[in-house]
Amino acid sequence: MIKIVRSPKPKVLERHEIAWTNVLLDASTEEGKKRAEKKYQHREIKDALLVMFHDKCAYCESKISHIAYEQIEHFRPKSKFPELTFEWTNLLLSCPICNGLAYKGDHFPEETEGGPLINPCEDMPDEHLDFVFDLDARLATVVGKTARGETTKKLLGLNRDDLRAYRTKVIMRFSVLASYAKTDPEAKRLLDEARKDDCEYAAFVRSLPTGDIGG
């Protein structure tokens, strides 16, 4: 998870957010509520989130669209906070696993429960989480270093077996590059590219020890 700067509110929300919210809150039937809720899936909103999050899950940093459908994630679940269904600052991009019922789903732990979760648009993730690559164990592991970090790690399944196995393979390659980056300009260039916001698991790449290679 890396810090993300939120882009300006999409124009469709500027025009319709208040009206859509009022219709949703006034809905008297479940069918009417579902019909009103769907407005948040407007193509303009998803496109803005895709650009803002570089087609990566806000939580696990996996690229999404080449293997699954991206989901518009409500940081504060719309089932519990319906008034925030169309609130731009409450919308993130997520993979279907982090956002699924087995992990975040409709959960939103409060402070007394070790929350709230880390929001990459509002918090500095590396203040709450460490991204540790253990070369001997061959594991790229997210470690909670605050209560909120620990809760976020567990609730989102940031070390679930399949994710950690794939992530480890990616970081193994960059670890090798890091060992050459001090003396090999091409290795340094590739490593610098992998540290950018649009690359998978940038938080881990940024944490790799590289010696005095600059930038």
- pLDDT digits over 159-191, tens only? 999 999 999 999 999 999 998 988 999 999 999
Backbone angles phi, psi at 180, to 5 degrees: -105, -10
Residue 211 has pLDDT above 80, yes or no: no
In a domain, 33, yes or no: yes
User: Could you tell me if residue 5 is inside a domain?
Assistant: no
Q: Is residue 58 part of a domain?
A: yes
pLDDT higher than threshold 90 for residue 68: no
* Domain-located, residue 4: no
pLDDT at 182: 87
Q: Where are the alpha helices (DSSP H) in the chain?
A: 11-26, 30-37, 43-52, 147-156, 161-180, 185-194, 202-207
The answer to whether position 2 is within a domain reads: no
In degrees, rounded to 5, the angle at the alpha carbon of residue 14 between the alpha carbons of residues 11 and 15 is 90
Query: Is 213 part of a structural domain of the chain?
Result: no
Residue 82 pLDDT greater than 90, yes or no = yes
Q: Is residue 203 part of a domain?
A: yes
In a domain, residue 6? The reply is no
- Domain around 182: 11-207
Number of structural domains (the chain) is: 1
**Average of per-residue pLDDT values in the chain:** 94
